[in-house]
Structure 1
Amino acid sequence: MATFDYADMQATAHELIEEFGQAGVITRLEPPDPLYGGDPVPTPYPATLVPMAYEARYIDGTVIQTGDMQIYISAVGLPIEPTVGDVVTDNSSDYAIVAGDPNKYDGITPVVFIVQGRIGGSRA
């Protein structure tokens, strides 16, 4: 029985996102030093992404709100896994990640990151 090549799927997803997407940034607030304190440090990570509006049939006003975006982020070359609390910046807006799916079908290789972004995220 042949095994499925998830790295190949990841490469295909990256090619599509690169072709149809745009450059963006994922900003993560790194916690302050546990001994010395201080302010959280915003750390930007360049990313290639495709923001897409949710279809009206999926907007329920609670889990998915008007203005939320489904954002596909290439996993290739991204040193972090986008998660709740991060902010995704595209060409025109900042979106706070409120939900996400790393799409690790084999439990190891992230094929593509799909996150739900809510307008109003702020760059620190």
Structure 2
Amino acid sequence: MANPLFARLQATAQRLIAKFGQASTITRITPPDPVLGGDPVETVYAATLVAMAYSAREIDGTEIQSGDIQIYISSVGLVIGPKPGDLVAASGKTFRVIKADPNNYDGLTNVVFIVQGRIAD
């Protein structure tokens, strides 16, 4: 059974992201079938998010590089959970997801997705 505390945290995160964030998209590229071949398939999902720069002390040059951003994505109404390799449109740029954390403390409720984004090539 879901803990009501996490549902309240999820609602609070959603409210703040809706107030201060932006409507955006997450694009997942599914590779072609290894046997049948074909073309990669791009699927676009709607999302609401807030993009923020990492502080100078968090940038270590290896795991977190200069230009990487933290993206807080509301889990409310989100059809998929972001994962590494997905593309996120934020602040007029496209970022590739490097790491994704669902902030799922009870195993049932994704409170908010916090992802590390790096400019996509």
Same fold (TM over 0.5): yes
Q: Which runs of 5+ in 2 are unaligned?
A: none
Comparing 14-23 with 35-44, greater Cα deviation is found at: 35-44
Deviation of 1:69 after TM superposition, in Å, equals 0.2
2:60 paired with 1:55 = no
CA RMSD of aligned residues (A): 1.4
Comparing 61-70 with 87-96, greater Cα deviation is found at: 87-96
Q: CA offsets per residue over residues 37-56 of structure 1, 9 Å max, x none?
A: 21110101010000000000
Find the aligned partners of 1:91 and 1:51 in 2 and give their Cα distance: 7
Find the aligned partners of 1:45 and 1:87 in 2 and give their Cα distance: 10
| Matching of residues 19-58 of structure 1 within 5 Å | 19-33=19-33, 36-58=36-58
- Partner SS for 2:15: helix
Deviation of 1:100 after TM superposition, in Å, equals 1.4
Q: Please tell me the residue identity of whatever aligns with 1:110.
A: N
Under a length normalisation based on structure 2, what TM-score does the superposition of the two structures give? 0.92
Deviation of 1:65 after TM superposition, in Å, equals 0.4
Q: Which residue of 1 aligns with 2:12?
A: 12
- Partner SS for 2:18: helix
Q: Which residue of 1 aligns with 2:84?
A: 84
Q: CA offsets per residue over residues 67-87 of structure 1, 9 Å max, x none?
A: 000000000011100010101
Give identity over the alignment, percent. Answer: 60
Q: Which runs of 5+ in 1 are unaligned?
A: none
Deviation of 1:33 after TM superposition, in Å, equals 4.1
Q: Please tell me the residue identity of whatever aligns with 1:88.
A: V
